[in-house]
Amino acid sequence: NLFFKAGEYGNLSDIAKWFIGGIIKHSGAVAAFTNPSTNSYKRLMPGFEAPSVLAYSARNRSACFRIPYGTGEKSVRVEFRSPDSSSCPYLAFTAILMAGIDGIKNRIDPGEPRDEDLFEYSLEELRDQGIKTMPATLREALEELKKDHDFLTAGGVMSEDFIKEYIDWKYEVEVNPVEGRPHPYEFILYYSC
């Protein structure tokens, strides 16, 4: 298990940490595949049910990356906890793996583990500490994917054409129609006199 190194935090090797670092670096683009619906971002709100803070921890469920307790080499692993069931597993796993591989290749440091309750921090406090969060909307994720997708095209895994078509389709079929229509709750708030 290349992720195992006895005696390190969570028994994680440098390779495991770099893998996490790559996902953190490319998290906005990865989210376009792991959280691909406008509704995906309803559960990624800070302090809500799914962790949105891009940190890792062996003792903290408020971090996006959980290192489950394990005593042996075979039990060491990393759980990326933000993806949801609306994702296409083929695209989601591809994006996660390519980001992680880029992290390993470039030895991207994920920062220090965070064992405190990250839900206690405001977004400003997290930013002040250099801690990123997942995108707040599908639009944000798609904008990140536009800017940051070289890691996905490495080795011809995904093509520029595919990424462009994916982004265009998401805007045309999901983002623009949802943003351009009133939400039913808006009717309750403003029109039910």
Distance CA 172, CA 169 (A): 5
Superfamily holding 9-190? Glutamine synthetase/guanido kinase, catalytic domain (3.30.590.10)
Cα 32 from chain centroid?
Answer: 9
Q: Average pLDDT for residues 163-180, to the nearest whole number? A: 96
- Per domain, the residue ranges of the chain are 9-190
Does 48 have pLDDT greater than 80?
no
**pLDDT per residue over 49-107, tens digit each?**
788 999 999 988 889 999 988 778 888 999 999 999 999 999 999 999 999 999 999 99
Sheet holding 79-80, edge to edge: 53-57, 63-66, 79-80
**pLDDT per residue over 106-165, tens digit each?**
999 999 999 998 888 888 999 999 999 999 999 999 999 999 999 999 999 999 999 999
pTM of the model: 0.92
Does 193 have pLDDT greater than 70?
no
To which H or E segment does residue 140 belong? helix 138-147
